[in-house]
Structure 1
């Protein structure tokens, strides 16, 4: 009996140990499985990049857009911020604002010069140098960053040396070709994509955005705060930061040619409203155009001399309205308007009104100002005939007659008529010489046709 009890106890102990071993193994396996699942989730988590397109001149509107969307990329934790760039250049101050935002960013910035055939010229080249990573599509180019004046002439050595030093410092910061950075400013040098990759101006060549993200994947870059970040972009999802319609309108207006045309259109509308006041359509169009022109000028580097010339031109065109003659004021206003286009914007920023826009615009407004002056002259010196006095001088035919009296149909009504030149006859042409109450005083234009028939 005791032996049987001991055997049962031993069996029970072994069974408990076996159960404990199985439970412990299950816990270990479950724990390992959870860890593997967590690691798998971490490994399969897809990074995101925020992509925006800049395919226009660099203006304060573009600078605001980049600042806003780059801030969004940092707030939302994107792995990188990508600028798809295609620009001929733009304003130096706006370029510097974008560069400063890139340098202050804790999110890596990638510039992808695309699509094929695009360019990162002038201000665009400097922005590309400032990026943490730079990629170019086939058939693209970079460079030609020499500051130019309003007529395309090179500016002084002081301005060029300052721009060159800025470009060289950015190239040195990003480990790019410092020699080219200086040459593209001082000599206007440009490189195609293969040369840019070979000389280290950009990091890679890629035919698509996906290829560009793969090309820079794994690259270590230094962001704001002296922090090193490894780009994880090979399989990153691209979120688009599109331009809103309001931003697009602002960018359209932030053009020196558009601002100039809108100003002249506004001036023209106000001139015609003064020349022929009516329901105010011309005045409304003119006022809206002037407001839009002022917005464009507000975001562009404007010279005070150009503004003064615009006001002088407006004064001369107004003088043409009130003192029309041989169009002297209008022609003078046109000449001053062209000069205003030349001096309106700051040449150090490379912003100017195209002469092929300024000259035709001035010619058109001169012609229309002369026409407006003639309208004003006729309005002021023409006879203002109203009521029955408007009938004086008009001709009509006699409908009914009896001696020197008859009836005439004019303006949808029958009028009594009295002749001052003899008897009237039906069908006879007469001219109204006066209005006596409700009777028209007329004179015959030819002899009584019935009398001529009787003589024959």
Structure 2
């Protein structure tokens, strides 16, 4: 009896120990999770466009809702659209927490729009082997034009800092864009206490710097080899947020990658100018086929969906309205070729208008947001094929025998149903017609129609 009691007590103590161990483990894990705060890491890799802006803006808003202590933007970009860049900068400037932008990995760059974003960030960091700059908004001047200064008098020499000689804007619009960009990047640099003179040179002269040179000239705040080195250097740094100051605590911080959601991935796809152009063409041809064959439903349904998605993509991209007008004119002329065959005049004219419109449709100097020549050529060839097919059908129909109307009846063979004197009735195409002739026929005999007078067929014996 005593041994049984000891065994039961041992079992009770063993279970109690397991429960206590489990509780302690849970508390330790909770304490670790509490101590190890997560910092969202957003990634900009490639050209900056509407999808990138949506991804960053939503990421900053989500981090603010979740109470994140800071946010990290890892960047490698050749530049992008001005409107998208400004959306990102507004989100960074108005963020309730520090935003750290890190140009990484080695070999990455923060060019053009990327230089603006790096300058606007609360903390600007770069990895070794990266570069920043070349932030001119438009191409100033044209290839082959002489520089603004005369090299003979020595004024065309390069400045001592290695930047190129500034050139005068070729037009008033370029001058306005240049001055606006200079004022914008200077205001951002002055707000963050960085080198505003170099920031202006990056826009005016397309100046660029390596990571070490950027640190020496106070363009950035630090150089970090990797994430661990970055977090170590950020710890204890004072950052101004609004009217106050925040001291970063990155000792117990874990970086959490924020991947683009389905909305961002869809926006990336449809805001590709090549995809937008193809969607517009599918939509136009879908509606055209639906009008040519009412009730087919499939071409019309697919065409409307593609056209609406394409129009949404155009609304998010910088477009040239002259290019859109030429594309619409080209589509209208190609559609007119199908309904009023002109043996290629309308179709070829529409194809030329469409090709020119697609070339100038996107008003941007960013190569990633222009229609590529292979896609333009493929769309043009497809449109040319549709035009040639329409021309072929028109020529074939011109040489074919008439299949409907009064002209179709002439020459057709009919069968006599009944006949009396110089008139009777015949059957043709399953219909009963009154017939007349100078020749008398008998029932069942075949006759040939030679004329149609009102509702009476003039017939004669078949040849």
TM-score band, normalised by shorter chain: 0.5 to 0.7
The superposition leaves residues 279-317 of structure 1 with CA deviations (integer Å, 9 ceiling, x where unpaired) of 554444433322221110121233332322221111111
Aligned to 1:290: 307
Aligned-residue CA RMSD (Å):
3.6
Aligned to 2:234: 216
What is the distance in 2 between the residues matched to 1:152 and 1:256? 25
Residue from 204, 208, 217 that aligns with 1:186 = 204
Aligned to 2:283: 266
TM-score, length basis structure 1: 0.68
Distance 1:144 1:159, change over 3 A: same
Count, aligned residues: 353
The superposition leaves residues 162-205 of structure 1 with CA deviations (integer Å, 9 ceiling, x where unpaired) of 10111111112212222221111111112222322232222223
SS in 1 for 2:341: coil
Q: Does 1:300 align with 2:290?
A: no
Aligned to 1:170: 188
- Alpha-carbon contact 1:55-1:87 (below 8 Å) kept: yes
SS in 2 for 1:354: coil
CA-CA distance at 1:133 after TM superposition: 0.8
Residue from 151, 160, 180 that aligns with 2:178 = 160
What is the distance in 1 between the residues matched to 2:387 and 2:212? 58
What is the distance in 2 between the residues matched to 1:211 and 1:375? 70
Q: Does 1:84 align with 2:74?
A: yes
Q: Does 1:127 align with 2:108?
A: no
SS in 1 for 2:39: strand
The superposition leaves residues 106-129 of structure 1 with CA deviations (integer Å, 9 ceiling, x where unpaired) of 210011122333221211110111
User: In the TM superposition, what are the counterparts of 1:43-122 in structure 2 within 5 Å?
Assistant: 45-122=35-112
Distance 1:151 1:352, change over 3 A: farther
Distance 1:350 1:96, change over 3 A: farther
Aligned to 1:12: none
- Alpha-carbon contact 2:106-2:130 (below 8 Å) kept: yes
Structure 1: give runs of 5+ residues left out of the alignment.
Answer: 1-40, 390-432, 435-442, 444-456
- Alpha-carbon contact 1:106-1:223 (below 8 Å) kept: yes
Distance 1:169 1:80, change over 3 A: same
What is the distance in 2 between the residues matched to 1:181 and 1:128? 11
Aligned to 1:33: none
- Alpha-carbon contact 2:40-2:255 (below 8 Å) kept: yes
Larger radius of gyration: 1
Distance 1:168 1:180, change over 3 A: same
